[in-house]
Amino acid sequence: MQKFKVTPWNVEGDVDYNKLIKEFGVSKIDKNLLDRIKKHTGNIHLFLKRGVFIAHRDLDVVLDKYEKGEKFFLYTGRGPSGHTHLGHLIPWIFAKWIQDNFKVDLYFQLTDDEKFLFKENLTLKQANDFAYENALDVIALGFDPKKTFIFTNTQYAKTLYSLALEVAKKLNFSTTRAVFGFDNQTNVGQIFYTCMQTVPCFLPSVICRKNIYCLIPHGIDQDPHFRISRDVLPKLNYYKPASIQNIFFPGLLKGGKMSASNKNSAIYTTDKPDEIESKIKNAFSGGKETLKEHKLYGGNPDIDIAYQYLKFFFEPDDKKLQKIYNNYKSGKILTTELKQICIEKVKAFLFEHQKKRQEAKKKINEFILND
């Protein structure tokens, strides 16, 4: 059996999500919880239906409170080490759906400090420039400017730093070492950093001078940070943050997630149509070695990257998706044809996204929090 490893900075191997859920101590999203969400939203987001969001912490508690009239706010973020890729969009698209349905605020953190501290060759200026680029992608998804607050850690430091100190005082080195696996070579900025990621979990409570529940949509790799937040916040008399967690959008290569640190694995939101086309054409496929074999025995959609992309969100129609699955498995559809379906969908999505990204440049000031 292949081993896997998931940390906020690195994902290796083929992730067994059932095992990871147990290891992290998070709860699976079950039918009961889906029905409860549906009661408020009327429908179930594709990401919930297709098992893209699989785990949570205390989402039931947030719903209990919401049903009694207590609002919550959303918090999510991005470590700006490069351009945004398709995988990053998953928690953000979902956050937008929650914002629309529950009419809640979103606090969005851009951690230029984190990426500077953890990436050897990245300057603070480069991280800061990517924060701007990434913010355009967030805005392009259509968040409500009146309810969405985007900030970059170094630009909003005057507000964030004093709150991070409150966290730091309640967190000792042995806990951070145990959670993140730090050692004697770890730079001290990295040891402190998690305090900055905890701050937005209670920032609105500080601003509004009352405790407000926090719900964080994020990829499951970020859970270790919020384990610390959940440990520390009650010590500062704030609520523990709740979370809803997604699995990883696959990279273009065999196995592994789409990752900003592996350029060959990623389709960026800034990619041009010909780049998208050539990347998907070269993606790992579940097709057979020869045309003859493929037609005879069929392909394997379960490991095929183009099919996985359609399943995550590029083919929202369940019936069409099932037909593609069956036809690929039986050999009726060839790998080149399956890839072409995926190429058209991704190109159309990014064409629209890039238009909105361009428009976001004019609107960005409506969203940004500065000291």
* Alpha-carbon span 324 to 333, nearest angstrom: 8
Residues 86-125 binding ligand TYM (CB under 6 A) are 87-88, 90-91, 109, 111, 114
CA dihedral sign of residues 34, 38, 39, 41: positive
Contacts with ligand TYM, 16-55, as mask; x by CB under 6 A: ----------------------------------------
Contacts with ligand TYM, 253-292, as mask; x by CB under 6 A: ----xx----------------------------------
Cβ-contact 42, 49 below 8 angstroms: no
The residue at minimum Cβ distance from ligand TYM is 219
Contacts with ligand TYM, 160-199, as mask; x by CB under 6 A: -------------------------------------x--
Which residues lie closer than 8 Å to 35 by C-beta, 6 or more apart?
Answer: none
Q: How far is the CB of 86 from ligand TYM (least distance, A)?
A: 8
Which listed residue (58, 105, 166, 221) binds ligand TYM by CB under 6 A? 221
Q: How far is the CB of 109 from ligand TYM (least distance, A)?
A: 4
- 147 Rama class: left (phi>0) / alpha (psi -120 to 50) / beta: alpha
Which listed residue (59, 62, 73, 76) binds ligand TYM by CB under 6 A? 76
Q: Which is nearer to ligand TYM, 38 or 49 (CB)?
A: 49
Region from 26-34, 215-223, 298-306, 342-350 binding ligand TYM, contact rule CB under 6 A: 215-223
Containing 112, the helix (H) or strand (E) segment is helix 112-118
* Alpha-carbon span 146 to 126, nearest angstrom: 29
Q: Does 311 bind ligand TYM (CB under 6 A)?
A: no
CA dihedral sign of residues 205, 210, 211, 212: negative
**Locate tokens 């990829």: which residue?**
219
Q: Which is nearer to ligand TYM, 91 or 287 (CB)?
A: 91
Q: Which is nearer to ligand TYM, 192 or 340 (CB)?
A: 192
Q: Which is nearer to ligand TYM, 88 or 294 (CB)?
A: 88
Residues 227-256 binding ligand TYM (CB under 6 A) are 246, 248-249
Which listed residue (79, 82, 204, 299) binds ligand TYM by CB under 6 A? 79
Which listed residue (219, 241, 287, 301) binds ligand TYM by CB under 6 A? 219
Three-state DSSP class for residue 148? strand
Quickly list DSSP for 26-43.
Answer: PEEP-HHHHHHHHHHHSS
Cβ-contact 248, 15 below 8 angstroms: yes
Which listed residue (6, 8, 353, 369) binds ligand TYM by CB under 6 A? 8
Token code pair at residue 32? 């009961």
**Beta strand residue intervals within 40-97, DSSP E:** 53-57, 72-78
Quickly list DSSP for 214-257.
Answer: EEEEEEGGGHHHHHHHHHHGGGGT-PPPEEEEE-PPB-SSSSSB
Q: Which is nearer to ligand TYM, 78 or 83 (CB)?
A: 78
What torsion, rounded to 10 degrees, do the Cα atoms 46, 51, 55, 58 define?
40
Angle, in degrees to the nearest 10, between helices 17-24 and 223-232: 20
Q: How far is the CB of 355 from ligand TYM (least distance, A)?
A: 23
Site residues (vs ligand TYM, CB under 6 A): 8, 75-79, 87-88, 90-91, 109, 111, 114, 197, 216, 218-219, 221-222, 246, 248-249, 257-258
